[in-house]
């Protein structure tokens, strides 16, 4: 007997290397390659970053119940574990996508809090998108094409090259995002705030008290509070 699936249920969609046809937790391609996946489930969340570079867009996205109108020329930057509900005509969409898991880069990049420092990572004060100028979009597409070529024809140093290209892409998008919303691109004041955020993601279901996180970090509650305020305002 076929199981009955509740269409209102929030579905968790993990990164599946087999279905993506890749050897790494990263992939890029065109909208025609995945047509139908955005509206396959009424509401879902993923365990990976999803970037969409729209050439032609329609409809809107409910992201954690916040409405995002989709427009031509938009670069949509979605973080993991956010509830997504797409109200679009997928056949009419034209975009290039980039999906990757955060841990894809961790064995290569020493700074394991790198993604936390990205200004669009889990951002709520500013929108999860920006609009790219033609020359910016051309550069983004060039880098995504390089990643795709390496995925299709991997060699011994493919991983290192892909991570390098991805790192560069994320940084220049971060600069553009900062410029768009007039945000300061500063050297982080400390790592306690990022470590706290990392611990929250791992333990929030079982640990809610601030003192417990301060104990994990071996600092006082006052130091933790000051660090978070200094870093995130």
* Secondary structure (H, E, C), the chain: CCCCCCCCCEEEECCCHHHHCCCCCEEEEEHHHCCCCCCCCCEEEECCEEEEEEEECCCEEEECCEEEECCCCEEEEECCCCCEEEECCHHHCEEEEEEECHHHCCCCCCCCCCHHHCCCCCCCCCCCEEECCHHHHHHHHHHHHHHHHHHHCCCCCHHHHHHHHHHHHHHHHHHHHHHHCCCCCCCCCCCHHHHHHHHHHHHCCCCCCHHHHHHHHCCCHHHHHHHHHHHHC
Strand order in the sheet with 129-131: 26-30, 94-100, 49-56, 74-78, 129-131
| pLDDT, tens digit, 9 for 90 and up, residues 128-171 | 999 999 999 999 999 999 999 999 999 999 999 999 999 999 99
**Which pLDDT belongs to residue 192?**
76
Higher local confidence (pLDDT), 94 or 233: 94
**Nearest of 122, 105, 94 to residue 32 by alpha carbon:** 94
Q: Residue 213's pLDDT is what?
A: 83
Specify whether the CB–CB gap between 96 and 30 falls below 8 A: yes
Q: Pick the residue with more confidence: 84 or 6? A: 84
Whether 3 shows a pLDDT value over 60: the answer reads: no
What pLDDT sits at residue 7?
54
Q: Which of 15-24, 34-43, 59-68 has the lowest mean pLDDT?
A: 15-24
pLDDT at 233: 63
Q: Are 119 and 183 in contact (CB under 8 A)?
A: yes
Which residue is it, tokens 């087999």?
18
Confidence (pLDDT) at 121? 84
Using alpha carbons, select from 134, 118, 92 the residue that is nearest to residue 178.
Answer: 118
Classify domain 10-180 by CATH architecture. Answer: Sandwich (2.60)
Decide if pLDDT at 109 tops 90: no
For 59, counting Cβ atoms within 10 Å of its Cβ (0-12 exposed, 13-18 middle, 19+ buried), the class is middle
**Percentage of the chain lying above the pLDDT 90 cut:** 60
Pick the range with the lowest mean pLDDT from 122-126, 185-189, 194-198, 212-216: 185-189
Report whether pLDDT(2) > 50: no
* pTM exceeding 0.85: no
Among 55-59, 90-94, 185-189, 228-232, the minimum mean pLDDT is found in 185-189
Q: What's residue 46's pLDDT? A: 95
Instruction: Name residue, tokens 């978070």.
Output: 228
Mean pLDDT, the chain, integer: 88
pLDDT tier at 187, thresholds 50, 70, 90: low
pLDDT of residue 32: 95
């Amino acid at each position: 007997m076929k199981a009955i699936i509740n269409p209102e249920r929030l579905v968790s969609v993990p990164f599946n290397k087999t279905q993506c046809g890749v050897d790494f937790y990263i992939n890029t391609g065109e909208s025609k390659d995945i047509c139908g996946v955005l509206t396959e489930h009424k509401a879902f969340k993923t365990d990976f970053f999803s970037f969409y570079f729209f050439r032609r867009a329609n409809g809107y996205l409910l992201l954690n119940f916040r409405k995002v109108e989709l427009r031509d020329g938009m670069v949509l930057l979605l973080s993991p574990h956010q509830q997504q509900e797409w109200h679009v005509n997928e056949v009419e969409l034209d975009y290039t996508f980039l999906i990757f898991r955060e841990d894809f880069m961790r064995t290569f990049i020493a700074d394991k809090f790198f993604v936390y420092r990205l200004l669009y990572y889990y951002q709520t004060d500013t929108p999860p998108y920006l609009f790219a100028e033609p020359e910016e979009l051309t550069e983004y597409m060039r880098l995504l094409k390089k990643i795709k070529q390496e995925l299709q024809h991997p060699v011994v140093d493919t991983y290192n090259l892909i991570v390098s290209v991805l790192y560069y892409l994320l940084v220049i998008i971060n600069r553009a995002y900062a410029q768009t919303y007039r945000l300061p691109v500063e050297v982080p004041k400390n790592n306690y705030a990022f470590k706290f955020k990392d611990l929250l993601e791992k333990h929030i279901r079982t640990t809610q008290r601030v003192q417990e996180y301060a104990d994990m970090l071996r600092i006082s509650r006052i130091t933790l509070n000051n660090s978070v305020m200094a870093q995130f305002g």
